[in-house]
Amino acid sequence: MTTTFFSFAIADSMFPASATVTRRPVSVDEVREILPACIPALNPSHAATIEAARVRYNLNVTIPETAPRVALVSGDDVIVMSVRGLPRLDATRHEYTADEISRATFEFARWEVL
């Protein structure tokens, strides 16, 4: 059985010690189709970025209470959403404006362990 995760980043520790990995861009339409079956591998502290994806692309992602530890095996994959252009939030500011969300760039890629 294979598992698909949804994340904002990947880490070397997610992959087996010896693995062949492929990466390919995916469209937001593909992400919307895949997302219901994905396990969210997100940090709850990034709720504002998750909300930005909802606003911009109507991506409904459940925010876990804690970020899961991901250990991919052969056949598993992770959909990674990379966001550029959103400012850093701090203790006084906890969400993005509509203008900030509209100016940001969102890219999606599917990383698969072969």
Tens-place pLDDT, residues 3-32: 999 999 999 999 999 999 999 999 999 999
Res 46: pLDDT: 86
Indicate the pTM of the whole model.
0.91
Res 59: pLDDT: 94
Res 89: pLDDT: 86
Q: How far is CA 33 from CA 15, 37, 49, in A?
A: 24, 9, 20
Res 45: pLDDT: 86
Element (H, E) at 18: none
Provide DSSP, 61-103: ----SSPPPP---TT-EEEEEEEESPPPPBTTB-S--HHHHHH
Domains of the chain and any CATH numbers: 4-113 (3.40.50.11170)
Res 67: pLDDT: 86
> HSE on the CB side for 28, CA within 13 Å?
12
| Under-50 pLDDT residues of the chain | none
